[in-house]
Structure 1
């Protein structure tokens, strides 16, 4: 099983963006740390929505619903992938 079985390969860069966004937000005092995960998840969904709606024909309500579902699913998966990578790097640094 590979990540690309679930995540669109062209959207993998979003996980990297979310990783650095998460790191920057946690270092800043602008947002409480407990809200950072929700913010990065929301931003991931928005970025994915921009891509999906820009590249998908939405000629009927069914297409719009599918694009919306894809955007939300991909955004959540990429936010999770970003968090997983951050946790792995943190574990490696601890040893």
Structure 2
């Protein structure tokens, strides 16, 4: 199975965006490292929600609204997880053990 089966192709661009935002969070003195993945999750959900709201989904029923919210939350979590995973791969590659 490939992660592209789960993340919508239009949202794949969020992975490097979230990696860059995570690097910014890492340099922020006010944010502890243990909270960076959670913050990236929130940012990923917000950005995914913006994509869903701008998309062509008609919000005529409560079901459509809940579907859009569910899609945004799941996609946001997935792109944030992929960004954290990508960051960890880059860190591990630099190690010389």
State the SS of the aligned residue for 2:92.
helix
Residue 15 of structure 1 and its aligned partner are, at CA, apart by 1.1
Specify the alignment match of 2:79 in structure 1.
78
- Alignment of 1:17 with 2:40, yes or no, is no
Give the alignment of 1:1-95 within 5 angstroms: 1-55=1-55, 56-95=57-96
Alignment length (residue pairs) = 95
Taking the aligned partners of 2:36 and 2:2, their CA distance within structure 1 comes to 27
Displaced runs of 4 or more, over 4 A = none
User: 2-side partners of 1:94 and 1:31: how far apart?
Assistant: 24
The structural deviation recorded for 1:42 is 0.2
Deviation per CA, 1:53-85: give whole Å up to 9, x if none: 211211110000000000000000000000000
Shift of residue 5 of structure 1?
A: 0.5
Gaps of 5+ in 1: none
Give the TM-score of the pair, scaled to structure 2.
Answer: 0.92
| TM-score, structure 1 normalization | 0.94
**Aligned-residue offset at 1:13:** 0.8
As a proportion of its length, which structure holds more helix? Answer: 1
Query: How far apart are residue 6 of structure 1 and its match?
Result: 0.2
Task: Please state whether the residue corresponding to 2:31 is helix, strand or coil.
Answer: coil
Aligned-pair CA distance for 1:45: 0.1
